[in-house]
Chain A
Amino acid sequence: MTLLALLLPLGLCAGYGALGPRLLRRGPPALAARLLTLGGLAAGVCSFISLGLLGFAFLAQLPDIAQRGHWSAAALRAASPVSRGVAFVALAALGVVTLAAVWVIARRVWAVHRTYRACRRMARSSPTGLVVIDDERLMAYAVPGRPGRIVVSRDLLSRLDRNERRVLLAHEQAHLDNNHHWYQAGAAIAAALNPLLTPLVPAVELALERWADEAAATDIGSRSRVASALGRVALLRLHAEPAIPPAAFGVTSHLALRMRAMLDPPPRVPRVVVGALVASLVLTAATTAGAGERMEGMIDTARSAVACHPAGALSAKASSHSGQSAHPDPMGHRPCRIPTRGS
């Protein structure tokens, strides 16, 4: 039971990473981006806590730590749902995951700090928020900042008609207005917390692009015009030199897919899918909390084992206990019950 509680978050992470993007593909992209990012982070944190509990199960069995905590290492070993080997692997994984998460967070914060600083420096040189680069590559970027900047190459601007220009600007502005860089960061952190959530990174990226497309369509008042602007840019792009290497993680912008979506009717909220995903997250959080409580209970039991055998509890002999054992209570403690594996 406890083992299940510890493994469920990991399993749900795998399911969330694999199924979440697929289930939400047809839904409104703003909802998909939010649910995938926040849900991914929640699942990642739950699996991180589960690893932490398993790792703690290993540490707590070390004689030194057991002595300091005044509990019986042997009783804990007997009650532990996993072998020490498994607990050790979890501890090692916990270390790796912690380092990876700290690294990803630090790099993201640094990267965003840099773009914010760059935008601040451009306060005077580009008061409108639009930066045009005299560059023959076809480029358009949204640079996060307060306020952010839209960067476009002159060559791209000169090849677009007025409708396409409006779509481009509205799309990039939507990235900035909705703080899309934080969603990207959230997905990357979730993937660092649990590699099973890695599929969320490209899925969130696509959802953010779609989100900006939908926002541009609302802005301009026509979905088909956004679609044709995307198509024009795609065709321009095909006949141009590769501008900038594909974004990180080898993700494509899926221009054809985005066009298709803009030609289809507006997406509707998939209530059943949203309900199922939220329910699975609540279940994961509840199981993780339950596993934490059980761990606390195990420690309590191991503490009372020390109370029963003040001298011998730390020795390996105690692990030979099986079933319930009640002892006379010379020190006035309550009778001890040492649950063993399987109870």
Chain B
Amino acid sequence: MARRASGALEREILAVLWAADRPLTAVEVQAELDPGLAYTTVMTILTRLLRKGVVTRERDGRSYAFSPLVEDATLAATQMHALLRARRDRRAVLAQFVGRLDTDDEHLLAELVNEAQSADEDDR
């Protein structure tokens, strides 16, 4: 579990930084993660991401605000685009999370979302 957490947490924190439209402080990042996560853990991962050169930081009052480093990411994205443009059979090896939907499903989906939310509240 702990081993998984390290890599997965890096990606999760990076995703948080990308999702935000401005640089985030470590406290703000922490608020976007699993509530059980310690501040020091978040700080450790942010430092690691900084060392790996995927995020950058700037002074924000007394602390640092972090944002994703766009240059390298753009390079990776360009490399990825070549794959995504590829023909059907090449794309077939890529697993998609976002599938296709028919509009008929909308009603059913709305119901299921309600059910999921109430089930989630029961869990807590």
Contacts and interface: CB of A to CB of B under 8 A. Distances in A.
Interface in A177-214: 180-181, 184-185, 188, 208-209, 212
A107 interface: yes
Nearest to B107: A256
Contacts of A227: 112, 115-116, 119
A219 B100 CA distance: 25
Q: What is the interface of chain B mostly: helix, strand, loop, or mixed?
A: helix
B119 to A, nearest CB: 4
Interface residues of B, number: 64
Contacts, number: 226
Interface residues of A, number: 83
Contacts of B74: 134
Interface of B: 4, 7-8, 10-12, 14-16, 18-21, 32-34, 49, 52-54, 68, 72-77, 79-84, 86, 88-103, 105-106, 108-110, 112-113, 115-117, 119-120, 122-123
A231 B93 contact: no
Interface of A: 107-108, 110-112, 114-115, 118, 121-122, 124-134, 138-144, 149-152, 154, 156-158, 160, 162, 165-166, 168-173, 175, 180-181, 184-185, 188, 208-209, 212, 219, 222, 224-225, 227-228, 231-235, 237-238, 242-244, 246-248, 252-256, 259-260, 262-263
A125 B76 CA distance: 6
18 contacts: A125-B73, A131-B76, A132-B18, A139-B84, A141-B84, A141-B96, A143-B80, A162-B16, A162-B33, A181-B95, A224-B119, A227-B112, A237-B101, A252-B101, A253-B97, A254-B99, A259-B112, A263-B119
A237 to B, nearest CB: 6
A124 B72 CA distance: 8
Given A126-B54, A128-B49, A255-B105, A224 B116 contact: yes
B49 to A, nearest CB: 7
B50 to A, nearest CB: 12
Judged by DSSP, the binding face of A is helix
Contacts of A139: 84, 96, 98
A224 B120 contact: yes
A246 B83 CA distance: 16
Contacts of A232: 113
A127 B54 contact: yes
B34 to A, nearest CB: 7
A131 B77 contact: yes
Given A130-B11, A228-B120, 10 more contacts: A108-B93, A138-B98, A141-B95, A156-B98, A170-B8, A224-B120, A227-B116, A237-B101, A247-B99, A253-B97
